[in-house]
Amino acid sequence: MRAPDTNEILLEVEGVALAFGGVKALRDVSFNVRKGEIRAIIGPNGAGKTSMLNVVNGFYHPNHGAITFKGRTRAKMQPFEAARGGIARTFQNVALFKGMSALDNIMTGRTLKVRRGLLWQVLRYGPALAEEVEHRRKVEEIIDFLEIETIRKVPVGRLPYGLQKRVELGRALAMEPDLLLLDEPMAGMNLEEKEDMSRFIIDVNNHYGTTITLIEHDMAVVMDLSDRVAVLDHGVKIADGTPAEVKMSQAVIDAYLGVAH
């Protein structure tokens, strides 16, 4: 079901600059994400990768530059507007709703799809109940997909880290996004968990046709998963291309290994 590799551009980032006072997190960064691809952003610590994601989903507002998503250019937008546009994301440090069960967390991801308002929800009868059941059915599909059936009613605070990451992915998937931003989906995982998560990422891309942009430090994972890789260093894009091209780039090798002076 993987979307054919068209050259249709889903997200276009042009000349984005972001500064926090004197700290220049991003300097004139441009890249694009094609529809249906897995796009990786890599770089050493402090390269500005997470800032880049935060700019894309409206959490930071860039000082310069423009972002075009699905053909619409905008300079400033609020996070919930980005969500409504079809951008979902996960976080480097899991950002789940600690007091709620795994099921409720994923159900919360359906918020934008809920049509019945407050008065219907108070009654929870007829169409409102039918809608709730329908959302539950969709969420159960995701729960099956991610193989977390046994923990659906467990408060997420009690789950191990690897499962929390999976629930967070489920919550993002429940939004049925066009673009999924994953911020270090494999940070702090062991080998088996990384393999599981890689499989889920590939499956999401194949099965739902979701375009994915991910940040990751594990080079083996990045090189295997992604169609194209952009490399940031100190807020500047130093390389962009297929994994093989990037691997050969002298600028990338210098950034990671350092240069003899």
Residues near other proteins, by CB under 8 A: 57, 59, 78-80, 82-84, 88-89, 91, 95-100, 104, 107-112, 114, 118, 121-124, 128-129, 132-133, 135-137, 140, 171-172, 175
- Please say which residue, 32 or 121, places its beta carbon nearer to other proteins: 121
- Please say which residue, 54 or 205, places its beta carbon nearer to other proteins: 54
Least Cβ distance, residue 148 to other proteins (angstroms)? 16
Least Cβ distance, residue 166 to other proteins (angstroms)? 16
Residues 6+ away with beta carbon under 8 Å from 126 = none
- Please say which residue, 49 or 135, places its beta carbon nearer to other proteins: 135
- Please say which residue, 100 or 202, places its beta carbon nearer to other proteins: 100
- Please say which residue, 128 or 246, places its beta carbon nearer to other proteins: 128
Within the chain, how many helices (H) and strands (E) appear? 10, 10
How many residues are listed for the chain in this entry? Answer: 261
Q: How many CB atoms lie within 10 A of CB 100?
A: 15
Least Cβ distance, residue 245 to other proteins (angstroms)? 32
Least Cβ distance, residue 41 to other proteins (angstroms)? 18
From residue 245, alpha-carbon distances to 32, 193, 228, 240 in Å are 17, 28, 9, 8
Q: Is the dihedral of CA 74, 76, 81, 87 positive or negative?
A: positive
Nearest to 230 by CA among 218, 210, 245, 220: 245
Chain centroid, CA 193 distance in Å: 18
Least Cβ distance, residue 260 to other proteins (angstroms)? 42
Nearest to 99 by CA among 51, 34, 156: 156
